[in-house]
Amino acid sequence: MNISSKPPFFMETSNLSYRYSAKGPAVVDNLSLQVPEKSIYGFLGHNGAGKTTTIRLLLGLLNTVYPVKLFGQELKQNAQGILSRVGALIEHPSLYGNLTAAENMQVICRYRRLSFGGIPGILETVGLGKHANRKTKDFSTGMKQRLGLAIALLGDPELIILDEPTNGLDPQGILEMRELIKKLNQEKGKTIFLSSHLLAEVEKVCTHVGIIRQGRMLFQGSVTQLTELYKSSQVPVLIETDDNEGTRKLLEQHGFECRIEGLQLLTYLSSRSAIPALIDQIRNSGIGIYQIKAESKNLEELFFSLHNDPNSGT
């Protein structure tokens, strides 16, 4: 009896690496991605971390000797068949300004030999149904991004890959894109892989997250697992003294990670109980303390600490 089994991950890489030149630095460095089916996976990292290069590798736009698996199949073995099940929006969409939204989609349909029949429904899904016959040169940035997403949805793909989909959007546009991504996942059953440098956006929309720095994975797991990690992480402490620069040098000499933020200094302690010893250390150096306060931990601080921990991702 044959029992069919689904692949453990919808998209997967193992030790994926890439250099733009033989002697250049690794832009992607031993990256192992694991994207579950029907997840919204946030690929998070600062600008220049290697996110867009990774996406180009996932889509076969850059050659690599390392295996890239989509839907349990190696991309190189059946690229055309596999990529027909994928929709992608990389950076900003390329649109014909003198054509309408519907006409832009028709151009892609002709190229891909797809029926025009699905266009009205897709435009409705992305909130552009009333603008189908409007020329795209008159569209706002947010409307252009939604049209780019509509084009990615042609052919009813199972996996959607989005590169910085909220880039350049105003707060309303970001909210609309966020709700659209959730809708596609929850109502249409799409698996979505999106890159971003905005932790707050990833936290609000994603079920899973991978954090990348200089091409290497720092963390990968569910958003719940990330939340548990930050709950057990160090406590951020704000200090204001009569010599913040001197305090920074003192603390760094004793192994503390710290940075100056305006009139205050931010450092990290293992727990609140370590604050009295910190106060004594600063006072004994002759520096006057104006204020010291333990801050509530948040994911933004965890993101910062992961990016500045030399042992992360090794």
Instruction: Give the model's pLDDT for residue 231.
Output: 64
CB under 8 Å to 21, separation ≥6 — which residues? none
Whole-angstrom distance, CA of residue 205 vs CA of residue 194? 10
**Does residue 252 share a domain with residue 185?**
no
- Asked if residue 123 is part of any domain, the answer here is yes
- The residue written with tokens 């950076």 in the block is 91
Whole-angstrom distance, CA of residue 32 vs CA of residue 67? 10
Instruction: Give the model's pLDDT for residue 307.
Output: 62
**Does residue 165 share a domain with residue 81?**
yes
CB under 8 Å to 307, separation ≥6 — which residues? 46, 211, 213, 218
DSSP 257: -
Whole-angstrom distance, CA of residue 86 vs CA of residue 63? 18
**Does residue 151 share a domain with residue 78?**
yes
**Does residue 108 share a domain with residue 64?**
yes
Instruction: Give the model's pLDDT for residue 254.
Output: 87
**Does residue 264 share a domain with residue 120?**
no
Q: Which two structure tokens, joined as six digits, stand for 36?
A: 């579950």
Instruction: Give the model's pLDDT for residue 3.
Output: 46
Domain count, the chain: 2
Instruction: Give the model's pLDDT for residue 257.
Output: 82
**Does residue 198 share a domain with residue 63?**
yes
Cα 275 to the center of its chain, rounded Å: 35
Instruction: Give the model's pLDDT for residue 2.
Output: 43
Indicate which CATH number applies to the domain containing 36. 3.40.50.300
**Does residue 250 share a domain with residue 120?**
no
Instruction: Give the model's pLDDT for residue 314.
Output: 47
State which residues form the domain around 273.
234-296
* 172 three-class SS: helix
**Does residue 278 share a domain with residue 201?**
no
Q: Which of 258, 224, 244, 251 is nearest to 288 (CA)?
A: 244
- Asked if residue 3 is part of any domain, the answer here is no
The tens-digit pLDDT sequence of the chain (314 residues) is 344 456 779 999 999 999 999 999 999 999 999 999 999 999 999 889 999 999 999 999 999 999 999 999 999 999 999 999 999 998 789 999 999 999 999 999 999 999 999 999 999 999 999 999 999 999 999 999 999 999 999 999 999 999 999 988 888 989 999 999 999 999 999 999 999 988 888 889 999 999 998 899 988 999 888 877 766 667 778 999 999 999 999 999 988 888 887 788 988 887 778 899 999 999 999 999 999 988 765 556 666 666 666 555 54
